[in-house]
Amino acid sequence: MLLHFDDEVEFASRLARSAGLATRLVERHRFPDGEIKLTLPVPLPPAVVVLRSLHRPNEKLLELVLLADTARALATRHLTLVAPYLAYMRQDRAFAPGEAVSQAIVGRLLAERFDRVITVDPHLHRTPALGHAVPARQALALSAAPLLGAHVLAHEPCALLLGPDAESEQWVRSAAGDRLEYAVCAKHRHGDSAVRIELPALPLAGRPVVLLDDMASTGSTLAECARLALAAGAASVDAAVTHALLDDASMARLAAAGIRNLVSTDTVPHPSNRIEVAGLIASAGLK
């Protein structure tokens, strides 16, 4: 059985269809003081898959605690969490005295309640494997990079894939495969939205460029890469990301920088969604 919430009905339908699962809705009620009540369908089978993408994560994490503990009380023995986007992975160490290491804290919270955690392209730049961040019995990180690469190949077969920094190389290399050329920039960050980018030393004049990364939030890095690429003579600049966490102001920033099109996967609902990941997740085996 696949349990889902009312704001992820369409994704749940695609995932259930791909994985051959029945779907059931978790009912939510919000009290006037803001507290929430969940009601799970009963009876529950011994093994349950829970879908919850963790963009805007704070209330959703509480929902998962309530859901998992209730499911255990209802005698469910095995719980799988499918979190297409997994939040709180960027803070993997304390960079100043007193900072909370959210990756370890949230990872432990999930691992204590779910036997298996499946996600797509988690933001693990200094953590070698998802299991180090989420110490569940099984922690599986899938990558949508080949799907992004296939989309680029279908629409811009002569494009240069350009990663915004060294950390993006793993995704850019995987997306490129053996059919697209790729390179990465050097990035120097001076704050949440202040960055300095250095282009790789190769000719861009007359070439279509596609910027590719695992996620985009403020859009500042992609925007700066686009400006530099166009100044270096790139014929066009598009962007492709797994997780689009961009608001209207961020999208306007990308457009102002000259980015022609942005495409993303549907791990996070966004107008740029063009690539579905339900089949990728189902291929991991959910039954």
Q: Which residue's structure tokens are 């996070």? A: 268
Q: Give residue 149's identity as a one-letter amino acid code.
A: G
DSSP-assigned beta bridge partners for residue 4 = 25
Q: Which residue's structure tokens are 């959910």? A: 286
DSSP-assigned beta bridge partners for residue 56 = none
Count of all residues that appear for the chain in the document: 287
Cα(162)–Cα(213) distance, rounded to whole angstroms? 9
Taking a C-beta distance cutoff of 8 angstroms, is the pair 264, 242 a contact? yes
Angstrom CA distances, 258 to 43, 158, 239, 251, stand at: 54, 19, 11, 11
Catalytic residue numbers, as ranges? 187
Cα(74)–Cα(177) distance, rounded to whole angstroms? 46
Cα(196)–Cα(219) distance, rounded to whole angstroms? 13
